[in-house]
Amino acid sequence: MLPSAPTLCHALVIGLDGVRFDLLGPDTTPSIWAFGQAGFLAPVTIDQATPTWSGPCWATIATGTGVAGHGITTNDLTGHRLADHPDFVTVATRAGLSTLLAVSAWAPLALPEDGGPLFAEATRREFVARSEPNLAGWDAADQATTDLAAEILARDGPRLSFVYLGAVDIAGHLTGAGAAYRDTARACDRRVGRLLDAVRSRPSYEQEGWTIVVVTDHGHLDQGGHGGREPEVTTAWAAAAGPGIHPGAPPVITGQDQIAPLVLAALGHPGTSDM
Ligand SMILES: [Zn+2]
C-alpha cells in the first residue's frame, strides 16, 4: 500500500437550499460575496436531465453523478441507486476520515425517511428538527444547526463537513422571491459567515489546507416554487475557495456533478487505490 496523501487537508461544503443566483450581492449576502472574491462565485446551470427539485439536485451535488446514475428524480428518494454512487461524506468516512453531517430540518438528507438518507455514513451525524411547520420553525432549525456545526468546526475541525440550511427555500415557497425571501437570505448569509469564521478561527487553520464550497441546488420562480426550466429556477450557483483555487481564475465548477469530485480531490482522493 502506498503512503497516504498529505493529511493536512480539510473540506467544508455549505449547502443552502433554493437561493436564487440573482439574490447574491455585497448588500444582501456580504459573507457569500466576499467569500467568492477569495476564489470564485459563478452560476451553475442544472442539466437538462435533472428535475429542478431538491432531491435530484442535492443527489447530483453529493454523488458527482447525474440522474442516470443516482436514479433520484423527486424529493422522495425511494428506489435510488446510492449504493452504487455513494455521497462524498460516505466516501470519506469509509476511507477513515473524520466527517460531520449537520442537516437542518429536511429529513431525507440525513434520516431514513422518504427513501433517505441521501448521506449514508458520517462519523458524526446531527439532524435538527424544526419545532413548528412554518418559516420561523425552519429559521430556528437553521440557526441551531449553524451553532452546533460552528462549535464542532472550531473545536474538532473534521476533515470533511457538510452543513445544510433550508430556510431560504421555505421562504421562497411560502412567500415568493420578495422581501421575506431576501430577509431570510440575509440571515442565511450571516450563518455562512459564522461557519467561515469558525473554520478561520482555528489556531492551526493556516496549516490545514481548507477547501470550502458554498452551493445551492436550484432557484425559485418569482411567485415561489420550483417550476421547470425557467432560467431563474435552473440557474443554481457555486462558490469555492481554497488551495489551488486562485481568485480571478475561471470557475472550476460549471456543473453540479463537479462538486463531489472537487471535494474528494481536495482531500487527496480518499478511498481510491492510489491513496
Ligand atoms: Zn431545494
Q: Give the number of other CB atoms < 10 A from CB of residue 76.
A: 14
State in Å: Cα 217 to ligand 1 middle: 5
State in Å: Cα 203 to ligand 1 middle: 35
The confidence score (pLDDT) of residue 73 equals 97
Give the integer Cα–Cα distance in Å for 275 and 272.
6
State in Å: Cα 54 to ligand 1 middle: 3
The string of pLDDT tens digits covering residues 127-177 is 999 999 999 999 999 999 999 999 999 999 999 999 999 999 999 999 999
The confidence score (pLDDT) of residue 54 equals 97
Give the integer Cα–Cα distance in Å for 55 and 9.
29
Grid coordinates representing 117?
Answer: 438518507
Grid coordinates representing 76?
Answer: 422522495
Overall average pLDDT of the 232-254 stretch? 92
The string of pLDDT tens digits covering residues 23-34 is 999 999 999 999
The confidence score (pLDDT) of residue 273 equals 58
Are 46 and 82 contacting, i.e. CB atoms less than 8 angstroms apart? no
Give the integer Cα–Cα distance in Å for 214 and 259.
10
Which DSSP helix (H) or strand (E) runs through 103? strand 99-104
The string of pLDDT tens digits covering residues 86-99 is 999 999 999 999 99
State in Å: Cα 168 to ligand 1 middle: 9
State in Å: Cα 60 to ligand 1 middle: 12
**Least confident stretch, 6-10, 33-37, 225-229, 242-246:** 6-10
State in Å: Cα 84 to ligand 1 middle: 23
Beta bridge partners of 162: 13, 101
Query: DSSP per residue over 62-80, as a string?
Result: HHS--HHHH---SS--TT-
